[in-house]
Structure 1
Amino acid sequence: MLYLDHAATTPPYDEVIDSITEVMRKFYGNPSSLHQLGVEAERLLIKAKELIASTLAVKPSEIVLTSGGTESNNLAVKGVAYQHRGRGNHLITSQIEHPSVLEVFRELEKEGFRVTYLPVDDTGQVIVQALQEALCDQTILVSIMHVNNEMGRIQPIHTIGKILAGYPKVIFHVDAVQSIGKLQVKPHELGVDLMSASAHKFRGPKGVGFLFRREGLLIKPQLIGGGQEQGLRSGTENVPLIVGMAKALRMTTEHLDAAIKHKYELRQILKEGIRDIPALILTGAEQEAEMAPHIVHFCFPGMKSEVVVHALEKHQYYISSKSACSSEELKPSDVLTALGYDRDRASSGLRVSFAETCSIDEMKGFVQKLQQTVQGLQGAARIRGERKL
């Protein structure tokens, strides 16, 4: 079995599972309680935040704990929009954002906000000039993802951060769910005000994440209650999962440079294999530095992506089509449509995403099986066509 769907979710480290179990068993106190059990739980919470913050080179007070990427994105986008609408109602995002960002903007449009959806070029990069042209005195928020979850295109976050430095009232949010744990990410160096992350994307547990919020930035809370997380996210903190998240982030980033190098080697093997299959078309940029190391995306025009996914699954190779959040929908990919692909090609996208645990031989084995699968599906399609005739 070879799991090649790491952009959807990742298998937790054994050590993370052990830590979660231990905390659940021994440190079950409410971190808001005043007694010893509560104090012990609170200490773990503080240590976890310190570890996360040190990894990102930020302050622990700049980390807001959440239930995952979707909540972090919602808190960032809605929190800014509602808090700062008095000084402007114009918001900017891109056409290729994750649904947990895109759908929030669509809802805000219904509430009277004006939203600009930036186009992308044929490699999937946001057109920076379009951003510059869209900025106005009513703009209060720009939200651009770091790595596109479907095709792996890295967005020019550092460049955008420099541009927005000249617009002090514009707040910059980045969905970094696909980059934290995969690339070297430092929010302050990128000029980012808000950054979302999700633990299950870097071998932590599901159901927990965080939002980096630059010190001093005001956003409107979306969950009201006991005032946890500096009043920004009420609700009793899930200490076991938070500890697991912090541990997973530490383990993932300990040897990150070596992991990135290995994944780019795997990526090159897969790209060369795909190029040798005439029916397949690679997407994204040619320059490796512009693409995430862990994702390769390609299209098989004329063949529905789910057919290929299930054909490979029979041999215990697990890949995906588009975002796992929308993979069951039969409509063409919004991301590929934004690139200008026609319906046939936009319905045939396939994503292979892997970890540093994948070996060179395993990737070569997958390439061989992919070649056989494509040939088999083409042969079956020809037979069906001849029968119709």
Structure 2
Amino acid sequence: MRRIYLDHTATTPLDPRVREAMEPYFSELFGNASSAHSYGRQAKSALEKARAALARCVGAEPGELFFTSGGTESDNLALVGAARSAKANGRTHLVTSRGEHHAVLDTCEALQSEGFTLSLAGLDEHGKVSPEQIRALAGNTTSVVSIMHANNEVGTVNAVDAIASAAHSSGALVHTDAVQSVGKIPVNVRDLGVDLMTFTAHKLYGPKGIGALYVRRGTGLDPLFHGGGQERGKRPGTENVALAVGFAAAVEIACSSMKEESARLAALRDALEAAIKARFPYVMINGHPSDRLPHILNMSVDSRKMPMEGEMLVMNMDLKGIAVTSGSACTSGSIQPSHVLLAMGRDPETARATIRFSFGRSNTEEDIGYVVENLGEVFGQMAGDKMNTEPFGSSR
């Protein structure tokens, strides 16, 4: 059976060039970057070269980047560390949106047990957060405003620069989760105007288990962990040099080929979207029509026209050899409707009957026809005699 991977927002395969860059640091270059001898100095040099490479790709200074175990830890460090630091100055209010990744939403909710209050900005019908909302919600007690750069489920890109300007007018710090956007679209921390930014390696054909947090110089940030002085005291623990080297290699490869690869992925996404719209009139496309990532296409079956057992869509596509998901990989095991789609105004049944396609380097034009034909078969099988399957199967 033919197999097609269309879940590159969940994770990506390790690029062979990245593996090659990492391999020496699993063997002969095994030193601890905190050691003073030659083995340690070799490791420290590789670590700092990796940090500098990441900094160049996002417009930061090397000293403003801190290695973590991944996007979730970076989000936690940004929110908890900045909020606790600002609490001493009477800033005990947080602002985020209803469409954030749970690494942000759950962390903000957890901070309420420490005396913080939380305001949630809504999403428009395309999944955007408006700067005007942020300006209205943020006040002189707001410590951190956290709004993602690009939504991981529907691909909508927020105007983070305008959001940051609105938040800064109240004196709040601004964090953005850019896990899905770095390496896909241009990301520059100076242009965005943010104080903190999360990104990670495994969405970019790098290794799992490593991420980074950008912290603008001068930003207050309490560490989550204690027990060592690594990462300038912000993230103690022996650094994983091999993963840092792999992270840097992956980001450099992605950024150097971003213009051409993003255009290629956008063409594949647009071709699939056009085919779905033409063939399946019961399907709704989720996300902004233009301000979106090049590789994500999110669609739902409109429950007003055709009720469907949404949790079976992904499983039946998998039986056809097509790997897709219903939303965030961190929550796709749940049968609950997407909180992002609910915030965009979709009803629960439509939100459940959702597929997210996310393209990557392995995908080609030949995949489009195969996906559309098998999607039609899945729709027909699931709908049974509850519908006239002709509109799904026709090409008119």
Quickly name the TM-score band, shorter chain normalised: over 0.9
Kindly indicate whether the alpha-carbon contact (under 8 Å) linking 2:33 and 2:42 is maintained by their aligned counterparts in 1. Answer: yes
1:107 aligns with 2:122: no
Farther off after superposition, 298-307 or 149-158: 298-307
Aligned mates of 1:162, 1:85 — CA distance in 2: 22
Structure 2-normalised TM-score?
Answer: 0.93
Q: Which residue of 1 aligns with 2:322?
A: 317
Kindly indicate whether the alpha-carbon contact (under 8 Å) linking 2:92 and 2:142 is maintained by their aligned counterparts in 1. Answer: yes
Amino acid of the structure 1 residue aligned with 2:317:
L
Aligned mates of 1:74, 1:259 — CA distance in 2: 31
Aligned mates of 1:189, 1:382 — CA distance in 2: 50
Match of 2:354 among 334, 340, 349: 349
Q: CA deviation at 1:369?
A: 2.2
Q: Which residue of 1 aligns with 2:169?
A: 166
Farther off after superposition, 354-363 or 103-112: 354-363
Structure 1-normalised TM-score?
Answer: 0.94
Q: CA deviation at 1:86?
A: 2.2
1:229 aligns with 2:231: yes
1:137 aligns with 2:140: yes
What are the within-5 Å matches in structure 2 for residues 248-327 of structure 1?
248-276=250-278, 277-286=280-289, 288=290, 290-300=291-301, 301=303, 302-327=307-332
Farther off after superposition, 156-165 or 272-281: 156-165
Amino acid of the structure 2 residue aligned with 1:338:
A
Aligned mates of 1:380, 1:100 — CA distance in 2: 41
Amino acid of the structure 2 residue aligned with 1:7:
T
SS in 2 for 1:331: coil
Q: CA deviation at 1:118?
A: 0.3
Amino acid of the structure 1 residue aligned with 2:295:
H
Q: Pairwise CA RMSD of aligned residues?
A: 1.5
CA deviation map 1:261-284 (0-9, x unaligned): 111111111111221212211111
Kindly indicate whether the alpha-carbon contact (under 8 Å) linking 2:7 and 2:323 is maintained by their aligned counterparts in 1. Answer: yes
CA deviation map 1:24-78 (0-9, x unaligned): 0121111101111111111110110111111112111011000000000000000
Q: CA deviation at 1:192?
A: 0.8
SS in 1 for 2:27: helix
Aligned mates of 1:163, 1:139 — CA distance in 2: 12
Q: Which residue of 1 aligns with 2:393?
A: none
Kindly indicate whether the alpha-carbon contact (under 8 Å) linking 1:262 and 1:356 is maintained by their aligned counterparts in 2. Answer: no
SS in 2 for 1:26: coil
Amino acid of the structure 1 residue aligned with 2:4:
L
Q: CA deviation at 1:336?
A: 1.3
CA deviation map 1:109-159 (0-9, x unaligned): 122111110011111111322211112111121100011111111111121
Identity across the alignment (%) = 36
Q: CA deviation at 1:165?
A: 4.2
CA deviation map 1:231-255 (0-9, x unaligned): 0000000011110000000011111
Amino acid of the structure 2 residue aligned with 1:295:
I
Aligned mates of 1:110, 1:342 — CA distance in 2: 31
Match of 1:52 among 40, 47, 54: 54
Amino acid of the structure 1 residue aligned with 2:309:
K
Aligned mates of 2:87, 2:72 — CA distance in 1: 22
1:364 aligns with 2:366: no
Amino acid of the structure 2 residue aligned with 1:197:
F
CA deviation map 1:146-189 (0-9, x unaligned): 1111111111112112323434x310000001111111100111
Aligned mates of 2:361, 2:156 — CA distance in 1: 19
Q: CA deviation at 1:380?
A: 6.4
Q: Which residue of 2 aligns with 1:75?
A: 77
Aligned mates of 2:386, 2:28 — CA distance in 1: 58
Aligned mates of 1:129, 1:192 — CA distance in 2: 17
Q: Please list every run of 5 or more consecutive structure 1 residues that lacks an aligned counterpart in the other structure.
A: 384-389
Q: CA deviation at 1:20?
A: 2.0
Q: CA deviation at 1:371?
A: 2.3
Kindly indicate whether the alpha-carbon contact (under 8 Å) linking 2:150 and 2:181 is maintained by their aligned counterparts in 1. Answer: yes
Kindly indicate whether the alpha-carbon contact (under 8 Å) linking 1:274 and 1:282 is maintained by their aligned counterparts in 2. Answer: no
Kindly indicate whether the alpha-carbon contact (under 8 Å) linking 1:143 and 1:172 is maintained by their aligned counterparts in 2. Answer: yes
Kindly indicate whether the alpha-carbon contact (under 8 Å) linking 1:269 and 1:364 is maintained by their aligned counterparts in 2. Answer: no
Kindly indicate whether the alpha-carbon contact (under 8 Å) linking 1:187 and 1:195 is maintained by their aligned counterparts in 2. Answer: yes
Aligned mates of 2:224, 2:35 — CA distance in 1: 23
Q: Please list every run of 5 or more consecutive structure 2 residues that lacks an aligned counterpart in the other structure.
A: 389-396
**Structure 1 residues 275 and 3, CA, compared in 2 at 3 Å: closer, same or farther?**
same
Amino acid of the structure 1 residue aligned with 2:18:
V
Farther off after superposition, 205-214 or 251-260: 251-260
Aligned mates of 2:310, 2:5 — CA distance in 1: 17
Kindly indicate whether the alpha-carbon contact (under 8 Å) linking 1:65 and 1:229 is maintained by their aligned counterparts in 2. Answer: yes
Amino acid of the structure 2 residue aligned with 1:296:
L
